[in-house]
Structure 1
Amino acid sequence: MTAMQDGLNGAPEVAEIARAESERGEVVLRRRVNEQAAEVLELRVNGVFVMDTLETGTEIELAAAALELVPDPRDVVVGGLGLGFTTQRVLADPRVEKVMVVEIEDALIGWMRDGTVPHGPALLADQRVRVVNADIQMAIAEARSTYDLVLLDVDNGPGYLVHADNERVYQEAFLARCRELLNPGGVLVVWSAAAAPELLAAMRAVFDDAEEQEHAVLLQDRPETYFLYVAR
């Protein structure tokens, strides 16, 4: 058996291609070959699946749903770089002039910059992008500018936290600070791996208008439902 599983009995071939440790634990990038013989990159944090390059629909929709609601989305904050698909969708909109991407894991930023994630260098070379290596809570607390969109995908949602400290991201005090940073007509969108009625209630307490959107996805051949929470 090599470092990559041999795929016998229909099991996907999997190989670890990058690993890093921080005070929050381990971040691992893996490559697997699916049943169609296509290579898929998969990101895991502390052993928990976070995202891959196969099912990117809700990461893209996180941006698309917000962009549709704002007539002039010039300045955007993306909380969570991940594998870059939300940022990529934001940059595809010619109205966007500046994107601040906040990512707490320095190693992930490095893998995107150095080509470990193949599409990463071109994405981060866009002159509209500024990557900030920080906790989103700190970045939002210290922000001095205002924005048209704030897009948050920093954990798996309030019910499936990878890092317990992220609990505050889904609570009224942090959401209220996000609202303070939004320009008139601005939009906040939060991604969640499961329905989060407490998050929706908190957003409705802070914003004039908030709604839940369900999105059916196929995750490693399993049907799942992810959720976007949109506030105006």
Structure 2
Amino acid sequence: MTPRELIDTAAVPGGEDLRLFRRGDDYMIVLDRNELMNSRMSGSEEALATMSCERLGVPAPRLLIGGYGMGFTLRAALGVLPADARVTVAELVPEIIAWARGPMAALTAGGLDDPRVHLVMGDVARTIEIARGDYDAILLDVDNGPDGLTRAGNDGLYSARGLASAKLALRPGGILAVWSAAPDTAFARRLRNAGFDTDEVAVRARSNGKGARHVIWFARKP
């Protein structure tokens, strides 16, 4: 077996370090012993984008993507959005963007340099808090989902207060789409209690329809 090579580490504010590994042509982002991302498993991250965009049906949509990761969600969104769309990407960890422009540049396909994209370095929670009806969709792939691993601060995104902020940030009919590695009945209940019309969809980790089952909630603001 090809050995796994450590490429770099990144400090997460309020959390443990992330490590970027490479094995052959594959990349992995790891927290402690937990593999958070793998370049061979992009299917559910792509579905987060494409299924959200399918549900919008508005001209010149405005999207916010929270958590850049390996760029699969951004790349998939750009592949289906019109030329007059605008996508804000909020990423907390500078090294994630450095990796995207460096060792993993082939995965990003130039997405960060697309004229439709605006990159914000900082906590997506802050971007949501200051927005008022700015977005047609907010796509969250932060941490491991509502049951986070990376940093305690991420829990606020998925709290009742965080959901209320997201609702204010969306336009009427807008969608809050949330990726998770596993089901979470408590979070699904919080979405409904926050007044969202919610659809929970199971998707496979791999683009070929195989791999673990992940979950995406599509929560529409009335």
TM-score after normalising by structure 2: 0.88
In structure 2, what is the Cα distance between the partners aligned to 1:145 and 1:185?
10
Q: Tell me what 2:66 maps to.
A: 79
Q: Deviations over 1:65-86 (max 9, x none)?
A: 1111111251100000000000
Q: What percent of counterpart residues are identical?
A: 30
In structure 2, what is the Cα distance between the partners aligned to 1:170 and 1:21?
22
Q: Deviations over 1:9-62 (max 9, x none)?
A: xxx4211122223443312111113xxxxx211112344211111010000000
Q: Please, which moves more after superposition, 78-87 or 47-56?
A: 47-56
Secondary structure of 2:37's counterpart equals: strand
Q: Tell me what 2:9 maps to.
A: 19
* 2:133–2:171 Cα contact (<8 Å) kept: no
Identify which of 82, 94, 114 aligns with 1:126.
Answer: 114
5+ residue gaps, structure 1, are 1-6, 34-38
Q: Tell me what 1:157 maps to.
A: 145
Task: Decide whether aligned partners of structure 1 residues 223 and 99 sit closer, same or farther in structure 2, where only a CA change above 3 A counts.
Answer: closer
The aligned runs of 1:169-180 (5 Å cut-off) are 169-180=157-168
Task: Decide whether aligned partners of structure 1 residues 22 and 177 sit closer, same or farther in structure 2, where only a CA change above 3 A counts.
Answer: closer
Counting matched residue pairs gives 214
Q: Tell me what 2:195 maps to.
A: 207
CA drift of 1:107 comes to 0.9
Identify which of 20, 31, 41 aligns with 1:29.
Answer: 20
> Residue type of the partner of 1:14?
R
Higher gyration radius (CA): 1
Task: Decide whether aligned partners of structure 1 residues 55 and 166 sit closer, same or farther in structure 2, where only a CA change above 3 A counts.
Answer: same
> Residue type of the partner of 1:17?
I
Q: Deviations over 1:175-230 (max 9, x none)?
A: 111111111221110011111111110111113410211123369xx942210011
TM-score after normalising by structure 1: 0.85
5+ residue gaps, structure 2, are none
Q: Tell me what 2:76 maps to.
A: 89
Task: Decide whether aligned partners of structure 1 residues 122 and 45 sit closer, same or farther in structure 2, where only a CA change above 3 A counts.
Answer: same
Q: Tell me what 1:56 maps to.
A: 42
Q: Which has the higher contact order (CA 8 A, sep 6+)?
A: 2
Task: Decide whether aligned partners of structure 1 residues 218 and 75 sit closer, same or farther in structure 2, where only a CA change above 3 A counts.
Answer: closer
> Residue type of the partner of 1:76?
L
* 2:148–2:154 Cα contact (<8 Å) kept: no
Runs of 4+ in 1 over 4 A off after TM superposition: none
CA drift of 1:94 comes to 3.5
In structure 2, what is the Cα distance between the partners aligned to 1:162 and 1:99?
25
